[in-house]
Amino acid sequence: MKKTVLLFLLALACIPMGAQDLPHYKRVIKALSSAKYQGRGYAKDGANKAGKFLKKEFQKSGVDEITLQPFKLDINTFSGQMQMWADGKKLRAGVDFSMREYSPGVHGTFPVYHVDTLNFDVERLFADLAKPEYANCLVSCEFWFTYRHRDVFSRLQKTGECTNAGLIYTWEAPIKFFKAYGERVVDKPILWVTPEAIEGVKKVRVEVDNKFLKDYECFNVIAKVEGVRHDSCYVFTAHYDHLGNLGKKIFYAGANDNASGTAAIVTLAGYYAKNRPPYDMYFIAFSGEDANLRGSTWYTEHPIVPLQQIKYLFNIDMIGDNNPVQYCEVSDEGMRGFSLFEQINGRQHYFNSLHRGDLAANSDHYPFAERHVPCIFLENEKGDAFQYYHTIFDTYKTVRFDSYMPVFQLVRDFVEQFQ
C-alpha cells in the first residue's frame, strides 16, 4: 500500500503544475537578452538573428507550421562612435546620456545654452541664441518643458531657424532610449542627458555616429498549431525586437521588454502542441514593434488568415515583473472577453486584480484593435523591473518571473471557457 501511494505521488510530481514550462521560459529570456543578439536591433542584424532562433524554438515546441513573413522598414541606428564629455568629464553612454532616435550624428565641441524655464520668454531665447557666444551651441532644457513648448523647440531642430547646433533634453536617471520615430532623421542632433550630468556645464564635446538604414528587411515569425476546427482561431502575439545598440560596445538587452512576452508565447505554443486545441492557434512573434509597430501593422495589412476569423487575440508584452495587479488594454470588440477574464481571475486569484487602462498605440494589439479584432493587451507594469524599461539595465539579472505562471494560467483558462 505504501509503495502504491509513493508511486502515485511520484507520478503526480511529474505533471507540470498548470502545464506551464518555467525552465523553458527562463531559457528563452536568457538567450534573447544575451550579447549574441545585441539587443535585437537592426544595425548588427540582431533582430533577424533572434528571429531565426525563435523559428528553431517553435520547431522544438512541436508546432505544425512556421512562416517567416518579411517586411521592410527605414530606421536610424547608432552603432559607431558614442562619446560625450561635459566640461572635460567623460559621460557614460546609456547611463549619463543617449541619443534621440531621429538624431543625426554629431562631432565637435559646443557651448551649452541653458534655458531659463522659470522665466521663459521666447523672444529673449532667440535673442540670446543670436549672440556670438552662443553661435553653434547646444540648447539644454528639461524634456517635458520642451514638450509643452514643442512649437518653439521644434524650430530649434531645423536648419535655418536658428544658429544652434542642436539640443540637449534632460531626463531623470535612468536615462532612456527610444526607437519609435527613428524612421526619419531631423536636421540637428538631439541628445538625452541626465540633469546632474549637464547642470552648470559650459562646454561639451560630442563624437557620435549614426547610420540610416533604408528598406531594411525584417520578418515576423508565425507558428501554427492546428486545432479540431479551422473556421476560427486564437492568436497569441509578442514582439521580439528591441532597441539594439548604442555605440560599439553597449546594447539594450530587453529581458523584460520583450523577451519575457516572446518566451511566454513560445511556451504557450508548446502547451497547445501537446494539448490539441478545439480551434487553430497562431503564435506571432513580431519584429519592428519598437520601430512604431511596423511588424504588426504589416501583418494586419497582409494577414495569413482573415482577421474576422480571430476569436480572440492576446498580446503579451513586458510580463517579466512582479506587480500583483495585472495591467490590461482591451479593444471594444474584446470587452465581452474581458468580463470573462475578470471572472476567472476572481475565482482563481491569479492576480490581486486586473487594471484596465485606456486603449493606446503602445504595442502590437493596437493595429488589430483598429480593425475591430477582439483583443487584450497584457503587461505587468510598475513592479521592480519596470523602472529599467528602455534602459541598459533591463537585463536577465533585473527581470522578474512572478507574472509568467498567472498570465499563462489566465490565458489558458480563458481559451477553455470562452464561447
pLDDT in tens, 193-228: 999 999 999 999 999 999 999 999 999 999 999 999
Instruction: List, for residues 21-61, the tens digit of each pLDDT value.
Output: 999 999 999 999 999 999 999 999 999 999 999 999 999 99
Question: What DSSP letter does each residue of 56-102 carry, written as one string?
Answer: HHHHHHT-SEEEEEEEEEEEEE--S-EEEEETTEEEPBTTTEEE-TT
Residue 5: what pLDDT? Answer: 36
Instruction: List, for residues 273-295, the tens digit of each pLDDT value.
Output: 999 999 999 999 999 999 999 99
Instruction: Band the pLDDT of 1: cuts 50, 70, 90.
Output: very low
Residue 419: what pLDDT? Answer: 85
Judge residue 17's burial from the number of C-beta atoms within 10 Å of its C-beta, 0-12 exposed, 13-18 middle, 19 or more buried. exposed
pTM (2 decimals)? Answer: 0.93
Helix axes 335-348, 404-417, angle to 10 degrees: 120
DSSP state for residue 307 in the 8-state scheme:
G
Helix axes 46-61, 261-274, angle to 10 degrees: 20
Average of per-residue pLDDT across 175-184: 94
Closest CA to 394 of 323, 341, 320: 320
Instruction: List, for residues 381-399, the tens digit of each pLDDT value.
Output: 999 999 999 999 999 999 9
Q: Beta partners for 229?
A: 279
Instruction: Band the pLDDT of 19: cuts 50, 70, 90.
Output: low
Residue 14: what pLDDT? Answer: 40
For the cut 60, the answer to whether the pLDDT of residue 153 exceeds it is yes
For the cut 80, the answer to whether the pLDDT of residue 91 exceeds it is yes
Residue 10: what pLDDT? Answer: 39
CA distance 61 to 79: 34
- Judge whether 91 and 197 are in contact, CB under 8 Å: yes
